[in-house]
Amino acid sequence: MDKKFDLLTFGQALLRLSPVRDDRLVRGETLIRQVGGAELNVAVGASLLGLKTGVITKLPSHEMGAYIKNTIRSYGISDDYIIYDNGKDARVGIYFYEHGAYPRKPNVIYDRKNSCFENININEFKDDMYKSTTCFHTTGITLALCKNSRETAIEMIKKFKENGSIISFDVNFRANLWTGDEARQTIERILPFVDIFFCSEDTARLTFDKSGDVKDIMKSFTQEYPISIVASTQRVVHSPKVHDFGSVIYNAYQDEFYTEEPYKSIDVVDRIGSGDAYIAGALYGLLHYRLDCRKAIAYGNAYSAVKNTIPGDVPSSNLNDIDNIIADHNMTEGYRSEMNR
Amino acid sequence: MDKKFDLLTFGQALLRLSPVRDDRLVRGETLIRQVGGAELNVAVGASLLGLKTGVITKLPSHEMGAYIKNTIRSYGISDDYIIYDNGKDARVGIYFYEHGAYPRKPNVIYDRKNSCFENININEFKDDMYKSTTCFHTTGITLALCKNSRETAIEMIKKFKENGSIISFDVNFRANLWTGDEARQTIERILPFVDIFFCSEDTARLTFDKSGDVKDIMKSFTQEYPISIVASTQRVVHSPKVHDFGSVIYNAYQDEFYTEEPYKSIDVVDRIGSGDAYIAGALYGLLHYRLDCRKAIAYGNAYSAVKNTIPGDVPSSNLNDIDNIIADHNMTEGYRSEMNR
Amino acid sequence: MDKKFDLLTFGQALLRLSPVRDDRLVRGETLIRQVGGAELNVAVGASLLGLKTGVITKLPSHEMGAYIKNTIRSYGISDDYIIYDNGKDARVGIYFYEHGAYPRKPNVIYDRKNSCFENININEFKDDMYKSTTCFHTTGITLALCKNSRETAIEMIKKFKENGSIISFDVNFRANLWTGDEARQTIERILPFVDIFFCSEDTARLTFDKSGDVKDIMKSFTQEYPISIVASTQRVVHSPKVHDFGSVIYNAYQDEFYTEEPYKSIDVVDRIGSGDAYIAGALYGLLHYRLDCRKAIAYGNAYSAVKNTIPGDVPSSNLNDIDNIIADHNMTEGYRSEMNR
Amino acid sequence: MDKKFDLLTFGQALLRLSPVRDDRLVRGETLIRQVGGAELNVAVGASLLGLKTGVITKLPSHEMGAYIKNTIRSYGISDDYIIYDNGKDARVGIYFYEHGAYPRKPNVIYDRKNSCFENININEFKDDMYKSTTCFHTTGITLALCKNSRETAIEMIKKFKENGSIISFDVNFRANLWTGDEARQTIERILPFVDIFFCSEDTARLTFDKSGDVKDIMKSFTQEYPISIVASTQRVVHSPKVHDFGSVIYNAYQDEFYTEEPYKSIDVVDRIGSGDAYIAGALYGLLHYRLDCRKAIAYGNAYSAVKNTIPGDVPSSNLNDIDNIIADHNMTEGYRSEMNR
Amino acid sequence: MDKKFDLLTFGQALLRLSPVRDDRLVRGETLIRQVGGAELNVAVGASLLGLKTGVITKLPSHEMGAYIKNTIRSYGISDDYIIYDNGKDARVGIYFYEHGAYPRKPNVIYDRKNSCFENININEFKDDMYKSTTCFHTTGITLALCKNSRETAIEMIKKFKENGSIISFDVNFRANLWTGDEARQTIERILPFVDIFFCSEDTARLTFDKSGDVKDIMKSFTQEYPISIVASTQRVVHSPKVHDFGSVIYNAYQDEFYTEEPYKSIDVVDRIGSGDAYIAGALYGLLHYRLDCRKAIAYGNAYSAVKNTIPGDVPSSNLNDIDNIIADHNMTEGYRSEMNR
Amino acid sequence: MDKKFDLLTFGQALLRLSPVRDDRLVRGETLIRQVGGAELNVAVGASLLGLKTGVITKLPSHEMGAYIKNTIRSYGISDDYIIYDNGKDARVGIYFYEHGAYPRKPNVIYDRKNSCFENININEFKDDMYKSTTCFHTTGITLALCKNSRETAIEMIKKFKENGSIISFDVNFRANLWTGDEARQTIERILPFVDIFFCSEDTARLTFDKSGDVKDIMKSFTQEYPISIVASTQRVVHSPKVHDFGSVIYNAYQDEFYTEEPYKSIDVVDRIGSGDAYIAGALYGLLHYRLDCRKAIAYGNAYSAVKNTIPGDVPSSNLNDIDNIIADHNMTEGYRSEMNR
């Protein structure tokens, strides 16, 4: 943890445009602009918890890229490895998001193709970047977006690994980007380098053809690949506005599973990015507490639970906020205030 | 279904003015303007589901009428039978709406009197209008508003009937517009012409002095009048923000009752117009599927349930949206995604 | 000035609904709600300058009336003489307002008919009201609205006059409410009781068939009727966003005319109610300074000029604000700060 | 109840600044400004229910003070006893408020120090104020704020008591203003003068070292001091968005306890000020119905329950609203409409 | 003018996203969504003036396309010739717009590439479309966007011409889409078919290498090609908020030039689309008044001038609005009201 | 320019709260939150132009401080020298700002006292800070706020000077913070250390008792103290919405004065911070171009002119924006586009 960064993440940054809460994409003149992207969300969360964090991405040099850069900076994240595209057609990926209310589901429309991120090139980054971080994180989305981002990501994983970084990877399977077969074949190329592996039970079954109970599945990855930690989140969706959230983590060295009482009846304001917040919390626990999976579970679950209450993709809670939530979650008796004041 | 229109509805269009969500009518400078009206809401729903639909109404020729006309057009509805009033005092009816939160109920203040709709005159419409539609729909509100609208509506019902249209009628009893006795006496004038009759159990008991269980009541209407279909909705209000919704339909030809599992714990954002959305869905089912009451129940319940999640009076979901909601509602096992993407 | 009130005004209070600045009435979901009415605007201005002020009007007892009552109270005005209408159709008059930008003019759509104000009845007021004020003010709008408001206003003028109040009257001719002939005939019924008379040059010519220059016209009213003070405003409209404003006042006792350098190139944000603000300022000058017409001109012109910069119908500047504006307007040399801080 | 006022309250008025609903204090450019303060909230509630009410406080004479004054006036409250501070550094106390959503708690940041209220001086008020009211109310917050407000409050309590006013006091313990010991010692100085005493069970235990069940505790205060009425509220917080609310009142003269079925599953929009709304309702019941504790319970519980649904600190429901809520709450059978129209 | 349509326009529809007025693209969470596109803007204007109008374009079938379709419909325009793209990557072109204030210029960032409009194919349209309109209009933007749109547009021009439509074409040169040379070479392919030609003086000089005064230039086009009407607009930009606007039209049959006094000191709220509004007005004059160039000048200049005062790309004024503006513009003496009421 | 920073500025950061544009502080529920402060504004401008910049200040550790810190970071400014105050009463200074419109002036109400900045202490900063920057900038506001900030600032000036930094100082006289005499006496303590001195002509006359023309005055400072550069801005306020802006710079080494054609008729959206933007531009010119006063004038005038068009206190234009504005300003002939696209 004495490198320049504790965590670097690599992926596309997106603009999200949403109608004013409860209204629909098909109507209305006002849209709310927010910044997101699976890997960026992880970086924001990790930075708010106190890790030295940076993002590796590519943005247009015009005002829409500057908006994203400024937002990233405002969360205390380094922009040292952001590449700018001056091309006159340089664009940032966009997605449109509509909140749900039972029986209406949340709805996403992607317009992320042909962003300048797809022109990213391994040669745009200098070699010292690979020595600068304790941990490197990316996701299946980056592998799926286009050939260019896929090969760049794989190359980066290898170079960071060579330079001693811990490699963290989230499958984050999206059926609208690739098929299960494509995902499996590609991910198998990088699993030999992965140290910390995030994969949900459903994805493991559908994409990797795993069977057995969730613990069998988690353990099986560590038997096939030199993975140290596997984490699986468990979300129960009662309605678009009420979820439960918990997770299981497996430590292959210790051959031990960790879990805790899930958060029940979360007041969901915005569920986007809550999976990424889990990863931010879990990586904080693992990196700050020498792979202590109890800490990873506690920070991961709390961070994901509270992210569901925050409008937008990125988390907004700092270490103090999360520590208070964990303390409340673990409290079994005594006076529990209903308000911070 | 080979006429110019599948459905024409006749009634007053209103402007609704509401405070920003959760705030009160008695305070605040910002009001949200929306377009509504029981018959208009039905037309919007039917048009979004794919029926060729038009509205028969009268609007001021100034900007406030143009606003309503433009909104109607935006939902793909014909404005062929909208009459314009150039009078310098021509006004549009208004109502003020405040959302509820337990124990505060939603609150409505009407300012709908003396709108130019009350000057409507049967002579303003040409005879070919009566040949142009498969189905004609109006409600008890139009009968109750004023003598002029009442007599025009009754005359229209007769003329459409003569020209072979299916006549659909929703009692929609409003105690602030007339008494139960006035309602009953007037509605009995038109029941001999009605084919599809929408009437809630409460209204049947209080207004028509019916007794017995809901099925007895529904059937009794078809025994007194040549009604083909009777539909009754069943709403359970747990709080202003949580409702259940279901319905029963009786087919007199088949002497058969239809129902299905209600939608439970709907996240109510705006319950206004959800009864009209039911009618839109039910009429779609009946008109598009040759009086198939199973389709009517399925589309009616789903459309009403989801309308509760949409701000404003009019529905906003298209056929694809509703088909997905029905599929989810009917799903008993298998993977059910929590988001459309 | 030792009565309970310095000024009572009588007239209809209206709700104004406007689109967000620069947008059009024919579009957009958000409307801004503001309270206005010629006589109410005068009362607000007089109260902000420090006069003890009340309004005589009638409002619905529901939330829309309460909104107006609360707004009136917030300006420090007495609601002792507001009558409430519990009728289920009681409504408040409304008007829709669109701001202009050259070459698009501001646009007004009235929906003020059938408000509960039209049911006002002289018997709803107790006799001690007529002894309670130094000055009573109303306008030609109240005379024009309907027979009921006309006869009530005329009766009130007589009763206040009998009880020693100064009678102030603003012609405020509106061609959409009555014809010039109707206006002249009605106003001639009350001119024998009027002490302070507000009439623009154009109105004097078109409605009262006056000719000659503005001074001849002003003087002629005092020769035909026992009027003490005549005031005429002079607005030059360069564009909807740039006006000049000045005025002339004639004191019949002294046979003297007063004027001052007009305010030039006013940054017009909202011109509605600027004429009423003039009257508020002029009455303040006349009532607080024993009919000192120099004070009336100074306060009238300054209050009208600055009202043009305030969104909504009613003024928002207090005595200190206006004194500073007058001081700046009269300053011919020395350091003039561009900001208050 | 034939004095000029039924109720005067004494305390600091605050500006509250909150992000747009669901967003966080740490982000976002738009803040919503609302007026609050424990004693002011009580006055607003009492005034809306029909009591003649005034507030005793001190405000800056600039626009921020005028904003608060105008808001107070808009609720029909007298500003006769508001003192204005012309000092160039005169400030109004501020607090920042963030709404909660489970597992994120509501959050308050105070910036209330050094407001001009802290300069309040007993000599700024004339002697006739002490003869003007049936009841005087203040809270432990005023005692805790600073020495100046504490000594002024104690002096006022004595003077109002001498002049025959009923003294009402709410402990309202805030650990961020003083310690439990400081609170107890100070409050013991005023308890000999208190007639109506509001104290929660928790506070009684923690601050006054009481033990036994809640009834023992409530009774014990009346045994030590000449207190007539003791009221304790009981809130159950299921989540920041769902509370239950009830209360117990003890009448020492009758030696009788009163309670009623609590309000369950309240849809909490904004819980701030709901305790003060309870006091407003309870005082209305006690003052308007000659210390009838059944009325106090009914109005107190209903007003607090519904305040939770109102954005901002102050209540917004009038007597008619509350009577309807009580009627619904007490209804055990029959048709209960889900909407007021 | 007895065809189904008076005017069909062909081009890309765009979503515009702008910050709240006066703020910058690089900051702020709220964006305002508006619909635009050079050819769509012309269609909206023509429809508002009363021409039977339709648009030929291609939109995604998802909610963002539906939003545009609904907006188009709300202006009374036919959507008969809108093609929908169900592809999962179907996107709508976007541009970001920032208003200017001297010395800051308005700023546009385009993200219009790879929209589904670029997949448009001549075979998606049936032959009867070409017989359905009196006039067909497109612009240089459609020729410049991509090869597909260029060849489709050229093919359409030929087919409409064969079927007797008047061909209207606006050069609308955009240096960010193509070079002057590319523009000239492409436009020369279609000039043999053009009847009404819109080209500014600057563009004529820079793109077509024309010299001489503006009249020489305009005439020269009609000498080289069988063009009937040439129109050139003349805008003087005093600041981003103040423009003058006028135009010259040349009628080749009559060999006559038409002009009128320009509109001076227009209060510019939003200049985007004001050139397209000119074309809408001019085409209305030409089509409704049998190529009367005096009408074309009057309607074109007035429509463009007033469009500058309307937020968004599309006009919002109807025939009555424009007739009033023309009447005011032509008025040289008499009373000119400053407000419509 | 090879130090860690090009520029460090020292001063209080403030929250500004303003009503929605054109509305008044005395009304309205919505306030817009912005970050400002004379020295912070300079830092933002310098950073946007490309200088490596940091701020030295003290903020509360709670969310309101975090909001400011995040905003500062978003402009690319270092937060290395921000000190956090964990005290429970730690507050951030606030000011309320109302925009003007002739004849209403902009209005400022300060609530900046007792902020945690006033507890700043020279010992909170490590010695290596003084070696880290090419230039150090502060203003008379920091000297005036309180004894603590004054003595800290003076001590910092001396230490930075000792370590070879260029010392920049802006008098920025505020009559509400201190008297002219206090200002003069304090500033004379630091003038021996100042290299770049910003002082307006008015301030020089009123505070320093200077006489003669502006050039005499500017030169006189360099004769009394070892100042290298003196800059004076010249603003002409036509109305709150229209200003001219220019400046004069004197280089004492060269004994030469520099000026250029002022920016005329600037569209003022928000004039706050435009003086600080001048300093940012001028310092950029001087630091980046080795004290080239031509560059300082060009960047200073352009940056100040354009800041007037930006809502909020801080600039928002980058080097490319400013270079374009300068190019346009210097253009005397040729085609000047009215829009960037």
pLDDT in tens, F15-48: 999 999 889 999 999 999 999 999 999 999 999 9
Q: What is the Cα–Cα distance from B24 to D315, expressed in whole angstroms? A: 11
d(CA A75, CA A80): 14
For position D202, what pLDDT does the model report? 87
Contact assessment for residue F330 and residue F282, using Cβ atoms and an 8 Å cutoff: no
Per-residue pLDDT of D168-188, as tens digits, reads 999 999 988 999 999 999 999
Which chain C residues touch F239 with a CB distance below 8 Å? 265, 267
Query: Which DSSP symbol is given to A106?
Result: P
pLDDT attached to residue D1: 56
Collect all residues with Cβ–Cβ distance below 8 Å to F152 and sequence separation of at least 6: F10, F120, F121, F122
Domain C5-10+38-59+123-330 has CATH 1.10.287.130: no
The low-confidence residues of chain A, meaning pLDDT below 50, are none
**DSSP at F125:** S
Evaluate whether F34 touches F162 at the Cβ level (below 8 Å).
no
Whether D293 contacts D256, CB under 8 Å = yes
Q: Cβ of D205: how many Cβ atoms within 10 Å?
A: 16
F265 close to C (CB below 8 A): no
Q: Which chains touch C (3 or more CB pairs under 8 A)?
A: A, B, D, E, F
Average pLDDT over every residue of F232-252: 95
How close is the nearest chain B Cα to the Cα of C63, in Å?
5
The answer to whether F80 contacts chain A (CB < 8 Å) is no
Mutate to test the interface with B, among C16, C17, C29 (most CBs of B within 10 A): C29
pTM of the model: 0.95
Provide the CB-side half-sphere exposure for A260 (13 A, CA): 15
Per-residue pLDDT, C206:
86
pLDDT band at C251 (very low <50, low <70, confident <90, very high): very high
Could you tell me which chain F residue has the CA closest to the CA of A77?
Answer: F73
Three-state DSSP at A172 gives coil
pLDDT of A338: 85
Question: Is the separation of the CB atoms in E199 and E166 below 8 Å?
Answer: no
Neighbouring-strand partners of residue B110: B95
Q: Residue D109 and residue F31: Cβ atoms within 8 Å? A: no
- Pairing of the two strands A5-10 and E53-60: unpaired
Q: Taking Cα atoms as reference points, which of D12, D242, D33, D222 lies closest to residue D112?
A: D12
Q: How far is F48 from chain A (nearest CA, A)?
A: 11
Q: Does D63 touch chain F (CB under 8 A)?
A: yes
Q: Is the pLDDT of residue B334 over 80?
A: no
DSSP characters over F7-44: EEEE---EEEEEESTT--TTS-SEEEEEEE-HHHHHHH
The CATH class of the E39-57+122-330 domain is: alpha beta
Q: E-strand spans in chain A?
A: 5-10, 14-19, 30-36, 53-60, 82-85, 93-98, 107-111, 133-139, 166-170, 196-198, 229-239, 242-251, 256-259, 263-267
Q: Which residue, A207, A304, A296, is CA-closest to A251?
A: A296
Query: Taking a C-beta distance cutoff of 8 angstroms, is the pair E21, E297 a contact?
Result: no
Q: How far is CA E215 from the centre of its chain?
A: 22
Confidence band (pLDDT; 50, 70, 90) for C2? confident
Secondary structure letter of residue F168 according to DSSP? E
**Average of pLDDT values for B185-214?**
94
Spell E206-223 as b/e; 16+ CB within 10 A means b: bbbebeeebeebbebbbe
Cα–Cα separations (whole angstroms), residue F224 to A292, E156, F208, F215, F221 = 67, 79, 12, 15, 5
Confidence of residue C1 (pLDDT cuts 50, 70, 90): low
Q: Cβ–Cβ of C103/E335 closer than 8 Å?
A: no
Q: Residue B332 pLDDT more than 70?
A: yes
pLDDT at B1: 57
Neighbouring residues of D28: CB distance < 8 A, sequence distance ≥ 6:
D19, D20, E29, F33
Helix axis angle, D180-190 to D201-208, nearest 10°: 100
Asked if B10 contacts B141 with a C-beta cutoff of 8 angstroms, the reply is no
- The letter for the amino acid at A237 is V
The CATH number of A5-330, from 3.30.70.1050, 3.40.1190.20, 3.90.380.10, 3.40.50.1860, is 3.40.1190.20
Dump pLDDT digits (tens) for B302-313. 999 999 999 999
> What is the CATH topology of the domain spanning F5-11+38-57+75-85+126-330?
UDP-N-acetylmuramoyl-L-alanine:D-glutamate ligase (3.40.1190)
Place of tokens 């008969």: E80
CA distances from B306 to A127, A239, B39 (A): 54, 13, 18
Q: At residue F127, does pLDDT exceed 60?
A: yes
Q: Are F6 and F53 in contact (CB under 8 A)?
A: yes
- The minimum CA-CA distance between E100 and chain D, rounded to whole Å, is 21
Question: Burial letters for C251-264: b for 16+ Cβ neighbours within 10 Å, e otherwise?
Answer: bbeeeeebbbebbb
Structure token digits, residue E295: 């009408």
Q: What average pLDDT score do residues F174-178 get?
A: 91
Q: Looking at the complex, does the CB of residue D296 fall below 8 Å from at least one CB of chain B?
A: no
> CA F48 to CA F37: how far, in whole Å?
16
What ipTM is given for this predicted complex? 0.92
Is the pLDDT score of D220 beyond 70? Answer: yes
Cβ within 8 Å of residue E188, ≥6 positions away: none
C88-103 pLDDT, tens per residue? 899 999 999 999 999 9
Report the alpha-carbon distance of residue F17 to residue F25 in Å, rounded. Answer: 9
User: pLDDT exceeding 90 applies to what percent of chain C?
Assistant: 92
Contacts E23 to D, Cβ<8 Å? none
Contacts of A302 in chain D (CB under 8 A): 103
Name the neighbours of E, counting chains with at least 3 Cβ pairs within 8 A.
A, B, C, D, F
For D113-170, write each residue's pLDDT tens digit: 999 999 999 999 999 999 999 999 999 999 999 999 999 999 999 999 999 999 999 9
Size of interface B-D (CB pairs under 8 A): 61
Contact at CB, D73 and C74, closer than 8 angstroms: yes
First-last CA distance in chain F: 35
State pLDDT tens for residues B170-182.
Answer: 999 998 899 999 9
Nearest CA in chain F to A68: F74
pLDDT of residue A240: 93
Report yes or no: B265 at the D interface, CB cutoff 8 Å: no
- Mean pLDDT, rounded, of chain E: 95
Whole-number Å distance between alpha carbons of A341 and D110: 8
Residue from the list D26, D176, D241 with its beta carbon closest to the beta carbon of A267:
D241
For residue B43, which of B233, B273, B263, B231 has the smallest C-alpha distance? B273
d(CA B190, CA F142): 82
How many beta carbons lie within 10 A of that of residue C30, not counting itself?
Answer: 15
Interface test with E, best of A16, A20, A21, A26 (most E CBs within 10 A): A26
Q: What is the mean pLDDT of chain A?
A: 95
Contact E272, E313 (CB under 8 A): yes
Q: Which CATH architecture has domain D5-11+38-66+75-85+124-330?
A: 3-Layer(aba) Sandwich (3.40)
- What is the DSSP secondary structure assignment for residue E85, as one 8-state letter? E
Cα-based distances in Å from A139 to A92, A102, F17? 19, 30, 41
pLDDT digits (tens, 9 = 90+) for C154-195: 999 999 999 999 999 999 999 889 999 999 999 999 999 999
d(CA B104, CA F100): 41
Q: Shortest CA distance to D285 belongs to which of D296, D294, D301?
A: D296
